[in-house]
Amino acid sequence: MQVVSAKPEYPWTFDNDLFGGPDFWGLVNKDWRMCTYGQMQSPINVDPSQLLFDPNVRPLVVDKLPVSAILENVGQLPIITMNSSSNLPSVNISGGPLGSYRYRLHHILLHFGKAPEKQGSEHTIDGVRFPAEIQLLGYNSDLYRNFSEAMTQPRGLVGIAVMIDIGATTNYELKKLTVSSASITYKGMKSDLLDLIPSDLLSKTVHFVTYDGSLTYPGCYETVTWIVMNKPLYITVQDLHFWNDLQQTETKQSNPVFMSPNYRPLRDLNGRLLRTNINFQTRTSSNACPSMYTDMHYKANPNRIQSNRIGIDKRDVSSYVRDTVDYALDSSVNQLQ
């Protein structure tokens, strides 16, 4: 499966120093013009001061099923594509900001930087970039037949973004992928995954931020409902180095062209709403009609951001966003672990 249905004469890269990098995507192919001219592009910086609590956002539901998938090096990044067959189960995503629609998980992407720099996520939290980010992308199976059809249509796609931070141990499902990455060093190499549980790649929190955005690779179609989870997964420094071994070329070169860093630069928010289901202070009377509360104010967890900057794993302060009034989010979320 190709990340995009790009023609061979339109090579692209995440390296902005090269022709074909993010600044050129919308110029080399007219089908990718949204990459240059779109006003609802991704990724973005999640600014806690811009969050609006939306009481109508439901809990997010991701089927807890093992699936068969293929891990492939496509040159620009590693992609895990779900095997599609009537004999195999499909992982459905529903709830959250998705209304009554069901979305079928189609593929998973991993973005990362060079391990020593610890700068590899696409989305940032209050200006802080994490070492890596995993993205689960699905298509609206109630409205469209497949991912290719849905990616250019309204309410077509969902993207769940989970930041990855440095920790003492690696998430179990992420460890499976890391071990398999040794089999896909060069472009075009693939590895079968027989018992992947995608739901276990989600961090242990019910809280998230959501906004309307785009694919973060060409053609940058603005059809994605993004859901950014409020806690990270963890990976060891040693395991992050395994991903850094992936290369963009099909064979070994005397001067290796490594895949990392493989993230798109941030895009402007352009007035879009950042909605969240994080709420610890109800500012309306109990008999009031539910509404989007605009007087809730959030800020980045200062301990969490500081621990990221100095490379310390503090799991008890790992939530990104907290209420400025009583910082209740951390203790509440940790009860779920």
Per-residue pLDDT tens for 203-248?
999 999 999 999 999 999 999 999 999 999 999 999 999 999 999 9
Q: Residue 181: in which H helix or E strand, if any?
A: helix 172-181
- DSSP single-letter state for residue 65: -
The reported pLDDT for the residue numbered 11 is 87
Q: What is the CATH number of the domain that holds 280?
A: 3.10.200.10
Neighbours of 95 (CB within 10 A): 16
Neighbours of 142 (CB within 10 A): 14
Range of the domain at 62: 22-334
Average pLDDT of the residues of the chain? 86
Residues linked to residue 138 through DSSP beta bridges, in sequence order: 105, 158
Do the beta carbons of residue 166 and residue 235 sit within 8 Å?
Answer: yes
User: Among this protein's residues, is 144 annotated catalytic?
Assistant: yes
Instruction: Please indicate, yes or no, if residue 12 is contained in any of the structural domains.
Output: no
Instruction: Please indicate, yes or no, if residue 143 is contained in any of the structural domains.
Output: yes
- List the one residue out of 108, 104, 110, 111 whose CA is nearest residue 150: 104
The reported pLDDT for the residue numbered 13 is 96
pTM of structure: 0.87
For the CA atoms of the chain, what is the radius of gyration? Answer: 19
What is the per-residue pLDDT across 253-269, written as a single tens digit (0 to 9) for each? 999 999 999 999 999 99
Q: Give me 144's structure tokens.
A: 């469209």
Instruction: Please indicate, yes or no, if residue 4 is contained in any of the structural domains.
Output: no
Residues linked to residue 332 through DSSP beta bridges, in sequence order: none
pLDDT confidence tier of residue 316, bands split at 50, 70 and 90: very low
Complete DSSP assignment for 226-256:
EEEESS-EEE-HHHHHHHHT-BSSSS--SS-
Instruction: Please indicate, yes or no, if residue 17 is contained in any of the structural domains.
Output: no
Residue with the two structure tokens 């500081």: 306
Instruction: Please indicate, yes or no, if residue 16 is contained in any of the structural domains.
Output: no
Distance of alpha carbon 67 from the chain centroid: 19
Find the catalytic residue in 103, 139, 144, 211: 144
What total of structural domains would you count in the chain?
A: 1
Instruction: Please indicate, yes or no, if residue 14 is contained in any of the structural domains.
Output: no
Instruction: Please indicate, yes or no, if residue 69 is contained in any of the structural domains.
Output: yes
